[in-house]
Chains A and B, each alone.
Chain A
Amino acid sequence: MNERIKNVGQAMNRIDGLLKVTGTATYATDYAIKNTAYAVIFKSAIAAGKIIDLDTSEAEKAAGVLAVITHKNAPKLNASGGIRGGALLQSPNIEFHGQHIGLVVAETFEQARYAARLVKVSYEKTDAKVDFEKHEKEAVTPKDKDRAEASRGDVETTFRNAEYKIEAVYDTPIEHHQPMEPHATIAVWEGEKVTLYNGSQIVNGAQNAAASTLNLKPENVRIVTPHIGGGFGSKGGQWANLILAAVAAKVVNRPVKLALTRQQMFNSVGLRQRNRQKIRLAATKDGKLTALAHETTTHCAINGEFVEPCGDCSKVMYDVPNSLISYRVVPMNIILPTYTRGPGKSTGSFALESAIDELAYQLKIDPIEFRLKNEPAKDPSNGKPWSSRAIVQCLKEGAKAFGWEKRKIEPRQNPQGNYLIGYGVAAGTYPARQRDTSATVKLTRNGSDVRSSIELAASDLGTGTHTILAQTAADALGLPINKIGVRIGDSALPPAAGSVGSVGAASFANAVNDACVKITDELIAKSGKQFFVRPTAAEMMASENINEFQTRVHAKPPADADKYSSHSFNANFAEVWVNDSTGMVKVQRFVAVTGAGKILNPKTARSQIIGGNVWGIGMALTEESILDSRWGNFVTRSFADYHVPSNLDIGSIEPIFINEEDTIPNKLGIKGIGEIGIVGVAAAVANAVFNATGKRIRELPITPDKLI
């Protein structure tokens, strides 16, 4: 028997890379379907009140127009069917600026867009709550039980009596996901069945939400989404555009394509909410933490609660006997916030890890040493043992790779010409989980040529799902990787978890692996033979002269997984150069060390960490969505105003993975890397800015005006 070539763990190119670079990978709008009409959404120009009158006559008469759909004539939908953010044209009520109030369907996109301008709307305005500063005091305890107050010990007394302590408020602004592929849908009806080509991080979630909202059976809704041009949480839940495409297609009795414009994306598909986080942190003189309070106030929609878990990192990062995590939320006339990369952890770690840095500086203790002094032996939030915890290794290996020993504890000690150079460190964490997923594996043989098709309703955001599943299957079946076909992104396939919350790789790959093991077992059993050395599925197909064979599994997390606390951890190191005249900041070097279990493909994993790091740097330095509180509109509604970092803002990024084997959370030992790359990044940059300049910026982003 040949020595098997291992694919898992190899830095491999994406198997769908050629499709992507040749423009043949099909994204939501890339299906040429005969007789397609085009829908364009139009939106509310007020933030609160209702539509009094809506004159669509001119739009209806415009060239090419097939239908104008508003709350007056839209079909009745189930508004609580699982679509996020409302805006389903079911009533004249307006709850946020830019709420969808109708759509025009026409022969061409240009005709639809033009006609949408011709609709005349009159409103009755009511007072809109859009000024967070003004309404913050109205915040209440969230209904979400996962955001209930969590406390242990006595934070108040400990903090009051502490000699060394920090109390500070950290503000992070509204951010937008803005994936490269804006949200778009093609809807095609055949009788009572509808096919929706639509970027969906959770394929079955989109299917169920669409079915429920459209009052259809789930089997009558098919979601097709083999490739997704990013989502970052905004394509995790589904938004009204998915349904409105289906509604439009039904009304005009033709396939309809509906794509949001970049500007429309700012108030159509959720956002990362603004958070005001108050941290209180106390320690003994020698650096042992005694109290940690992390209290977050934020906003949600008028009729929909979402509160990102900013206190999550504070629950598990440090050994501290007295702890308080709490949330308050005020409903406002702003679109429903939603999961955004590293939800809660990215923003929460900015507050926590800045405060750790502040207290370390107060104590004149190196911030790495300070963290090491407060390592918890078990999960302080629930007393469970860690399945593994690589944070110490991350900090130590990172310090070595980065050259941390050169850092001076006092700020402004490292000038170079007109620049001030600073070093910063911050750590982070994200939970590791596996979710239920089914998968089918099919084998076909033609002479000596054995091929496999792996089929499940998984999704690939651009992160490399296709590739890691092919690697997993190739190893488990004993086939070369080019003999593996991966079919995902279709709700007609076996149901799967989603590419959300860093569960994708663990859920999908374990299911595929289980399926491949099972098909091999079944082939062996079918042969009735016994083997000293376990043969591969491919070998069994040949030896038993079988041409077609398939099996299906439903994979679940290990029964014992819940007895442990399983997390990825990281340590981030930033070197910033601050222009002392202008306040402009460049991240010259960034080192991110991650302990995230088994890394299936170091090449795609590296890309994912770099992507998370870049967004974290954007969070630190450039990204901010600004509302005009008089109208509730975003004034930053294009990429000219909403600044994601450019290449020139970022020097080198070096991701390093800790070799970690932990099969407690799942059989393959995969922890997931979708979120961890952004956690702790903004704090590392802000801490480096402090080290460079002596200025502690607690309100992101750190734009030049804050440093002059």
Chain B
Amino acid sequence: MRPFKFTKVNDAANAVQTVAANANSKFLAGGTNILDLMKEDVMRPDELVDVTRLNLTQIKTVSGGVNKGGVSIGGLGKNTDAANHPLIRQNFPLLTQAILAGASAQIRNMATNGGNLNQRTRCSYFYDVAMPCNKREPGTGCGALEGINRMHAVFGWSNDCVAVHPSDMCVALVALDAVVKVQGTDGAERSIPFIDYHRLPGNTPQKDNNLNQGELITAIEIPKNNFSDKSYYLKVRDRASYAFALVSVAAALEINGNKIKQARVAMGGVAHKPWRATEAEKFLTGKEATEANFKQAAEMEMKQAKPLEYNKFKVELGKRAIVRALMQAMNGGKV
């Protein structure tokens, strides 16, 4: 590990100023990802600003603003606490399922909610400093584009990067139209719709998201919704636990009579950002909640997929996963 400066801060303003003042400084929260990356020499910050003492761990009902009645999840709360909080379990079981599908109990106990959003891809070319990687070192090329890209993107990739965002939690959050609350250098708070938080790689794959240097995630808000009795998070992976998704689907339905009033479908393991399946959603709105319609929605979504050499299976798997997740959602989210 390269030597670095370790700075402790006691309030958010101080944290933001400290990191903003040093372009090579990073926040340290749960440390479940950045410390690994530093040991492997993938990330080389010269300063870590420890934000673990900041009081940003609360989970509470949003009392005002556009998300009034929804839930606010503290940026520095632990994943485990978010997954198991009664407000989340009762109103947003999709998020509980997604969080619990990720990592291991030990990691979820350490990892923070804001950190989950900001974790880096697990692309093995990114992780291996002997390999080219535009995300790690812009201009060196993408090792995965013509390499072993079984785990990689089928949507929205560029020739510069085919990595996927590894989070499960974020797939549920994008499906639920969450909003990321961020404290900026001027002390003001700004709100980033979840769908705009992460980026596609384009020619700047080194940028995973639209945070500016120094900006700190204070909370994630989820607006109130009517999905809680018809939602499901399905994760398909190489082993049943502690593996990143080959494909995952967050599905949520609001049914009015026998018609779908609102459908939310998002996918993980398929793109550089949590992928909102808007084609599928558009098709389903106003339709009956039948397997045939789910299949057609899945077809329409996956038609846009551009698989790579080793991940062609993700197109068929994606279709199956969308259908299965929607079926499970109709079944009340039970397995």
Contacts and interface: CB of A to CB of B under 8 A. Distances in A.
A633 B144 CA distance: 13
Interface of A, secondary structure class, is: loop
Interface in A562-593: 581-584, 586
Interface in B220-254: 234, 236-244, 246
Given A633-B128, A635-B125, A640-B244, A418 B238 contact: no
Contacts of A641: 122, 124
A581 B323 contact: yes
A684 B195 CA distance: 46
A620 B275 CA distance: 32
A701 B238 CA distance: 10
Contact of B240 (A114, A586, A626): A586
Nearest to B328: A418
A415 to B, nearest CB: 15
B320 A643 contact: no
A214 B122 CA distance: 41
Nearest to B240: A648
Contacts of A630: 146-147
B238 A708 contact: no
Contact of A583 (B130, B241, B317): B317
B1 A113 contact: yes
A445 interface: no
B148 A582 contact: no
Contacts of A635: 124-125, 128, 147-148
B130 A643 contact: no
A645 B239 contact: yes
Interface of B, secondary structure class, is: loop
Contacts of A631: 130-131
Contacts of A647: 241
B121 to A, nearest CB: 11
A662 B2 CA distance: 60
B321 A582 contact: yes
B41 interface: yes
A523 to B, nearest CB: 54
B240 A649 contact: yes
Nearest to A636: B124
A705 B247 CA distance: 11
B124 A114 contact: no
Contact of B321 (A97, A581, A703): A581
Interface residues of A, number: 38
B205 interface: no
Interface size class of B (residues with CB under 8 A): 35 or more
Contacts of A645: 239
A4 interface: no
Contacts of B148: 626, 628, 635
B246 A705 contact: yes
Contacts of A193: none
Interface in B127-155: 127-128, 130-131, 143, 146-148, 150
Contacts of A584: 236-237, 240
A113 B150 CA distance: 31
Contact of A646 (B1, B146, B239): B239
B2 to A, nearest CB: 6
Nearest to A706: B313
B40 interface: yes
Contact of A643 (B131, B234, B239, B321): B239
A173 interface: no
A418 B331 CA distance: 13
A622 B124 contact: no
A691 B278 CA distance: 39
A637 B238 contact: no
B21 to A, nearest CB: 25
B240 A117 contact: no
A581 B240 CA distance: 15
A125 to B, nearest CB: 13
Nearest to A646: B241
A626 to B, nearest CB: 5
Contacts of B2: 114, 117
A643 B1 CA distance: 26
B64 interface: no
B11 interface: no
Nearest to B243: A643
B239 A621 contact: yes
Interface string A692-705: 00000000010111
Interface in A643-684: 643, 645-649
Contact of B241 (A263, A581, A649): A649
A708 B39 CA distance: 38
A705 B237 CA distance: 9
Interface string B17-52: 000000000000000000000011100000000000
Given A114-B1, A648-B240, A648-B241, A45 B122 contact: no
Contacts of A705: 150, 246, 313, 317
Contacts of B150: 705
B78 interface: no
A312 to B, nearest CB: 29
Nearest to A113: B1
A708 B320 contact: yes
A397 to B, nearest CB: 30
Nearest to B103: A640
Given A113-B1, A621-B239, A640 B122 contact: yes
A78 interface: no
B3 interface: yes
B316 interface: yes
Nearest to B127: A638
Interface in B311-329: 313, 316-317, 320-321, 323-324
B238 A643 contact: yes
Contacts of A586: 240
A114 B324 contact: no
Contacts of B244: 640
Nearest to B312: A705
B236 A582 contact: yes
A219 interface: no
A630 B39 CA distance: 26
Q: Give 8 closest A-B pairs by Cβ, nearest first.
A: A648-B240, A705-B313, A646-B241, A45-B130, A648-B241, A581-B324, A635-B124, A582-B236
Interface of A: 45, 63, 97, 110, 113-114, 117, 263, 418, 581-584, 586, 621-622, 626, 628, 630-631, 633, 635-638, 640-641, 643, 645-649, 701, 703-705, 708
18 contacts: A63-B3, A113-B1, A113-B39, A114-B2, A114-B3, A117-B2, A117-B41, A581-B320, A582-B321, A630-B146, A633-B130, A635-B124, A635-B125, A638-B124, A643-B238, A646-B241, A648-B239, A704-B246
